[in-house]
Structure 1
Amino acid sequence: MHVENDIQQAIIKAIKDLYSSDADPAGITLQKTKKEFKGHLTFVTFPLLKLSRKNPQQTAQEIGDYLLANTDLISDFNVINGFLNLSVSSAAWIETLAFIARRPDYGFTPVTDQSPLYMVEYSSPNTNKPLHLGHVRNNLLGHSLSEVLKANGKKVVKTNIVNDRGIHICKSMLAWQKWGNGETPGSSGKKGDHLIGDYYVLFDKKYKSEVAGGISRGLSKEEAEEQSPLMAEAREMLRRWEAGDEEVVSLWKRMNGWVYAGFDETYRKLGVSFDKIYYESDTYLVGKEVVLRGLKEGVFYRKDDGSVWADLTDCGLDHKLLLRSDGTSVYMTQDIGTAKLRFDDYPIDKMIYVVGNEQNYHFQVLSVLLDRLGFEFGKG
């Protein structure tokens, strides 16, 4: 602490001037003043009695008087049984603060070749809607945690996984295709992520209307949802996207571009950044390959409808869907692929996910799945 060093040097000078003696700096130590006494820092004078040739009370009083008269480091002092309790002056605190401000790396532990590498994932938005308050929380927590880790001598990679594909993305795309009339962020005056979010809401409204209509015709809720023409179209759009359909992929790129521009504006306003951004559209294929390998090796099983599952009941979890019956993937598929890519890309020592508590189960499952697939970075 800057002010402690200054006071220590001032005490050494006081001893020189008062007692014509050179004090050993190692013997001039300060400690925090106990709460029951007035002051910030306490100096114990007993080791100096051979130099001062006076009793503890007199020695402490003389040093306190010297500091008060010859420095601006203290504003007051008191002596209790040879303990010199010093009240640091406002000027000294201000100078210490200014000293710290002049050194952006003050208090930092330098990063070395031996420093462990931490990867911190935060944000993880979907490209069908704007960032919400939960994202803001995770962005600020994740970015702050990363900076704290760096200050403590850790190598840090700040990463984001963008959920840019899947049925939820197709819902926005389909709604815009049906009812958008060519609307763009420019023509509407809306941020791109807000515009796309509006079409996601519109899809949900139209879908619920279809389901309500089916129920009114005597269908159960499950039957009405399954038979919804709009949802069937969304599923077909997802199938076409995964098959590389040129028209669907072109629309997907265009609309996601609007969303990214909106996200970037929000990130700039929040003051957060990322070192590496992964996209689900890149990682889900890796995840599918890993899942199919797990199926071949007997780690997973296939149901009669063709879907692929993991039985995790032996460790207190559930059966987990990994591939739908039509071969399309789910969030867990993507997360398996993302984990593999990350550990392929970086020699990660510690992986930190900044997410809400409601995601705990998901990451418990992911950890077990990675372990069963034989990855060193899994649960084991």
Structure 2
Amino acid sequence: DDGSVWADLTGDGLDEKLLLRADGTSVYMTQDIGTAKMRFDDYPINKMIYVVGNEQNYHFQVLSILLDRLGFEFGKGLVHFSYGMVELPEGKMKSREGTVVDADDLMEEMIGTAAEIAAEAGKAADMDEAEAREVARIVGLGSLKYFILKVDPRKNMTFNPKESIDFNGNTGSFVQYTYARIRSLMRKAEAAGYNIPATLPTDLQLSEKEEALVQKLNEYADVVAEAGRTYSPALIANYVYDLVKEYNQFYHDFSVLKEENVQLRAFRLALSEVIARTMRTGFSLLGIEMPERM
């Protein structure tokens, strides 16, 4: 009666949704309908994914129905990537209560913590100041990203800054340290004149651990495909962590550079190199850099 425009969604088990106020002004839903159409008009896309927290689940359920009713074929295919909320050990971050965390401050804190840990452990003793700062940046930001991305994105989680830079455990810094160790191994191999041949013999007698590592590497493409299909970077994060755990067990139990069998030594170097490359490409999909040394 007042000239406002509504959509009746009671048949879909929802409520009535306001689309235009009586004075003709729009609401969030109206704007999302318009921008959805504009995106499909302006860009050659076939699917649209909204990366928005789970507090907006109802909004995007309604948007999908409205777009479909308005005749837009992309309405039903709309994807709401509904991620969980991140909390601190002290509780949920709420701006009204003054516990909101600024992302820039958190990143600076993570970089500073990484630098302190490296200094205490003497890991940066042979680095100049610029390299030490760069490694601290890579490790600090990598630890932050990994700690959040290793969790199923749809679940709420608690982010603990101190736990995220633990060099022993399911952390980004643990993976980065293993990568740096392999890169150091490859530099030593090169200095010793050990080259990896273009082809390796197929009749090598491998241990169960080496065979398991090869099989684990073979899973990488399937894991990436599944992560894309389900919108879950956690699958990649946890795959890389499992690969690193298995490699560290292998590295502890078997010699690489000191292996006297030339062909077996070449295989183990090749295996190490491929594992390092897989770790780097997997982390690059998560936006995490790898340090050449730590």
Normalising by structure 2, what TM-score?
0.26
Normalising by structure 1, what TM-score?
0.20
Q: Which has the higher strand share?
A: 1
> Greater CA radius of gyration, 1 or 2?
1
Higher relative contact order (CA 8 A, sep 6+): 2
